[in-house]
Amino acid sequence: LVRQRAGKTVVLEQPVDFTTLGGKYADFAENFVLKNAAFPFFLYVPFSHVHTTADDQPDMQYCGCAHKNQTRRGTFGDALAEADAFVGRIMAALDTSNVRANTLVLFTGDNGPWLAQRTSGGSAGLLSGTFSGYWNVGKGSTWEGGIREAAFAHWHGVIPPGTRSAEVVSSLDLLPTVLDLAQLPLPLDRPIDGRSARDVLLSPSGQSRHHVLFFYGGPDGQATPSAARYGPYKAHWATGPGLGGCKVEPAAPAGCPVVRYQNGPLLFQIEHDPSEAYPLSINQSTHSDPIIAAVLAKLQAAYTTEVATLGRYSSPHAPDGPGEGPGTYGVCCDRKRACYCDGAPAGVAAAAEETATRGQLSQK
């Protein structure tokens, strides 16, 4: 666990102890709110939950002792419950500081479940990508199970409570949305793919400013978009599995092939068919239904423009400073594949026992 401040990196804990990691994140966020409540602030809290861990942790998940074995969803559910509790602590800090009324809180995820990690990676639920013919339609794919995320917005007295929207927005929209609300201009030295979602947040009838929202990643990586949303329609120009792929097996009789649709996209009405089971068009440039034909034409024209005008922007990582770099830090606290919440970690206990044994031998 490291802290980076003013260009300096300080190791706080090495190796990191997962049973207290989440609490440290929550402590930092809570204290940040309390200390900065008198000033405008921006706080980004990227919890490690509920990402999987290395395989030296039980079920490749973790949580603190207070949440261990507290849910029916196993270790994944325990981790999720702990993340929920941490969000509650941050919201309570806003109340304590009397700033909830002028604070916008946004909560979302970065991708769907990492299905190759089985139950420790979560579940895609209804977003099953049924037409694919394989199970691995989560993280790393552009099937709905890989990219569709829930999002929550809270702004007391501004966003009507209990309202919902089916408009399509992206995490790319966070920067332009926040700047729009703060009445600040967008930077002009780089391409900005996002659009302000102010209208969606502040009005139950607000509409997304994305006419067509393209999804990169998947089979074509960053070279060209693999899929897109256009209102209630979802188009795929290339499909493939999530991270880890899959082999030929009962849940994937043909394996996990990459399929490209060069004549026209694979098209779904995603609001009616979130499981992507029943395509409206498959690799066709035209269609007998005039509505579907118009949708295909609009999507193909937008795709052609997107590819032709795609701008590249390089944003390299800052160079490693003294004491930084791959292999510098320990990855985790190996508690011998178990979480000993009521005592010292197994390694510490074993070391103490060995020391005591050596002392007895020396006395003899």
Query: What is the model's pLDDT at position 328?
Result: 65
Query: What is the model's pLDDT at position 229?
Result: 97
Instruction: Specify which residues 228 forms β-bridges with.
Output: 214, 235
**Coil, strand or helix at 163:** coil
Contacts of 217 (CB under 8 A, 6+ apart): 140, 142, 146, 147, 226
Q: What tens digit of pLDDT does each residue of 94-136 get?
A: 999 999 999 999 999 989 999 999 899 999 999 999 999 999 9
Query: What is the model's pLDDT at position 354?
Result: 40
What mean pLDDT is predicted for residues 24-32?
A: 94
Phi, psi of 233 (to 5 degrees): -105, 145
Indicate if the pLDDT at residue 158 is higher than 80. Answer: yes
Indicate if the pLDDT at residue 167 is higher than 70. Answer: yes
Mean pLDDT of the chain: 86
Query: What is the model's pLDDT at position 323?
Result: 63
What are the CA-CA distances from residue 354 to residues 8, 309, 334, 357 (Å)?
38, 66, 18, 5
The Cα 141–Cα 133 span in angstroms is 14
Indicate if the pLDDT at residue 78 is higher than 80. Answer: yes
Indicate if the pLDDT at residue 336 is higher than 70. Answer: no
Query: What is the model's pLDDT at position 18?
Result: 85
Indicate if the pLDDT at residue 264 is higher than 60. Answer: yes
Indicate if the pLDDT at residue 326 is higher than 80. Answer: no
Indicate if the pLDDT at residue 349 is higher than 50. Answer: no
Long-range pairs, 348-352, Cβ under 8 A, ≥24: none
Location of structure tokens 């999002």: 151
What mean pLDDT is predicted for residues 61-75?
A: 91
Q: What tens digit of pLDDT does each residue of 232-257 get?
A: 999 999 999 999 999 999 988 999 99
Indicate if the pLDDT at residue 156 is higher than 50. Answer: yes
Contacts of 130 (CB under 8 A, 6+ apart): 275, 276, 277
